[in-house]
Structure 1
Amino acid sequence: MVMKRIYLVLMLTVLLLAAPQFAYSQAVGEEPFQLYAPFTGVIIGAKDRATLDVKLKNMTDKGLSVKLELDKDEKAEGWEVMLLNSEWSGFGVSGVYLGTGDEDKEAMVKLRIKPAEDAAAGEYRFIVKASTLDGVFSEALPIVVQLTGGKVGEEKAKTDIELEAKYPAVEGTPGKAFSYEISVKNAGGDAVVVDLVLNLPEKWSGYITPRWESERRINSIKLDGSATERILLTVTPPMDVEMEKKDYPIKLVAKAGDVEKALDLSAIIKGTYKLQVVPETNRLNFDMVAGEEKRLVLYLWNEGSAPIENISLLASKPEGWEVKFEPEKLSSLESLLVTQKPEQVTATFKAPERTIPGDYQVSVTAAGDQDRKSLDLRATVKVPTSWGWAGIGVIVAVLLLLFGIFMKLKRR
């Protein structure tokens, strides 16, 4: 009887310990994730640096957090061995999250291995360990490094530069700065200083800055072996850039020793349009007499960079008023940078003779195919001088009539 009880206790203990692993097996079959690498054994020289892809794949239908650890060979003292998120730059990685979608179901980290300068030739072993956060499931990936003297990949020691623009063709407008994001990669194994030379169209200006330091302008950049840096190339076309030629070539040249590489870029310039209308007096109000014409000179100009076509002059006026323009239309208005002076238009206003004195609003609009501009004017209408004399005459006549009546009444 006692033996049966001991047996039952042992069976329950085994089942409790195996329950989490059994739950995983029920949920995902055999393993919640896979840990693997395309290359698990490499041969490098003492002056080389190896970067290996380590991949993880979620085998479940739920999101999964995985802890990463790295065991170094005891003999690899002074070696640089670490897991990174990027080969060229970035940060160390100690864990990844595996989602369930096509984009995040798999993850890849970089295992960087760089021998110590005084490392002895021989075989070194490193182990990448991955486990669930509860520690129930784990996998180990051994990596074997065979270290030899000198360099194995001598071709990487050759100096080489690679230039790439994220967007090689960018649209811009005259007088406004715009930028290109460019990657400069040292495809060789040794550190180099890369000189940067910019070739621009005539009258254009430009400069180069680090990607995240827009205030610092540079002419060269130092790159370690196999390193990549991102830079910003900012250019500004002149205000009077020729609009007939909309596509302008820009070239960035990178030089390192005897190696020279060029990156061809394109600037697509689009014209701007800005119509302006201002009275010659620079005042938005004027006086006029009812029944008489009032002339006002208007100045029109284009502050943009491309011509404005088919400009018509229109007016919104009180009922019964007359407004005329000379000329009524302009076939084309070039940029002020080209004309160097505004166009003149004479506007003539006339209010009816019986217009009540006071202030009236008249809106003048210059409308072209590409832009339009409106101007609200205040016209102060006054009565003609003849009306004043007529009024005086009426007053005098009334006074004389009253005086005659008064004299007749006095005689009686």
Structure 2
Amino acid sequence: MRTLRIISVLVMLALLIVAGAAPAMAQEGQRNLFFYTRYPSQEATVGDTVTFKLTLGTETTPQIVRLGLRNVPNGWTATFRGDGRVIQSAYVEPNNNATFDLRIEPPADVKAGEYQMLAVATGVSQEVTLPIALTLKEKTTNPAGLSFNVDLPTLRGSPSTTFRYNVTLKNESTEEVPVSLLAEAPRGFQVDFKLSGQSITSVPFGPNESKNLSVEVRALTDVPAGTYEIGILARGGDLQATTRLVADITGQPQLLLTTPDGRLSGEARIGEQTEVKLVVSNNGSAPARNIELSASPPVGWTVEFEPKQIPELATDQVVEVTAKVQPSNQAIAGDYLVTFTARPADAAAATSEFRFTVLTSTLWGLVGIALIAVAVVGVGVAVMRFGRR
């Protein structure tokens, strides 16, 4: 009997546990945000800036997700960065994930060891966390080896920028050493080592000799905005030195100015206003701001735009503009060129040449017809009058 009671109690406890777990499982099933990085645990040297590439997405609900950090060690700087700028939130929708960087800058006096923090993404009805682990190691110094010194290890530019780093490489040994130069760069980047303007892959060093090198990094393709790390290695026999360079690539607008159908010719009449439909598009990787519309017409012509300015044009966005063109009253029939320009505040301008075939005004045509009619009537009256005689 006692055994039966114990079994009954255990069964009741099991049922209560299952019932309590069911809502948690259902709640878990309702989650739709996901937040990850391919390399959540990294190693670096004391003094290095480390970048984690993060991906945030949703399976169901489009939403703006707030970003935050927890357990950041005192004195550390950690920021989320997208398109080269510090961000606090990201917009996600199904099949359109947001990718951005988490840049971590430990203080100069940080000690070697393992550090952990949490990246937090808070959506409309859900919060997800991503553990980040960073192991810092002491700089290895070899008084009788090779050493790098970089003037500016982090440079900023556009996808078309050639990043040039001034690097001093020193042979601190007492032996002559032939040194090979190697680079480890992200896919789509090219790295060149130069000495006195000449590309090199190796260079001889005498005892205690230093040489100033230029390391040139450029993107071979239109890479997305973000922070990219390039590792460089100098190796000579048993000696070697490594250091990291950072290319901070910001987005760049790229405007195109044309017509809706691509046709860049039309007709206009002397003294009359003609409307031309133009489209301004941004095919770049960053928004274009404060775009001014202008024209270079022949002398005596007037050109007005509606609108005259576009405050902001997002990536892949298209805006229609109307150009109201009026030829000079002194113009003669023929072909004329008018150059339209869309000039943003922070990027290169886009231009388009439009060819106008100028015709005489319809008013002069009506005047001509009226004069001919008057002449015909006059001739008829004269014939009638003199014909009677």
Shorter-normalised TM range? 0.3 to 0.5
Relative to total residues, which structure has the larger strand share, 1 or 2?
2
TM-score (norm 1): 0.46
TM-score w.r.t. length of structure 2: 0.48
Larger-Rg structure:
1
